[in-house]
Amino acid sequence: MSARNNALLLEQLNTIAEGLSATFAPFCEVVVHDLQNPEHAILAIHNNLSGREVGEPSTEMGLARIASPEFPAIVANYANQLADGRPVKSTSIGIKDEDGNYVAALCMNVDMTLFRGMQSALAQFTQLASNAVQETIEPAGAQALRARIDHFAARLATTPRALKAAERKQLMAELRDSGLLEVKKSMDLIAQQLGVSRASVYLYAKE
pLDDT tens digit sequence for 20-39:
999 998 889 999 999 999 99
Q: What is the 8-class DSSP label of residue 156?
A: T
d(CA 94, CA 85): 26
pLDDT tens digit sequence for 137-173:
444 578 888 888 888 888 888 888 888 999 999 999 9
pTM of the model: 0.61
Q: Alpha carbon 160 to chain centroid distance?
A: 10
Could you give the dihedral angle defined by the CA atoms of residues 170, 141, 178 and 169, in that order, rounded to the nearest 10 degrees? -10
Containing 69, the helix (H) or strand (E) segment is none
d(CA 192, CA 149): 11
Contact 17, 32 (CB under 8 A): yes
Q: What is the 8-class DSSP label of residue 38?
A: G
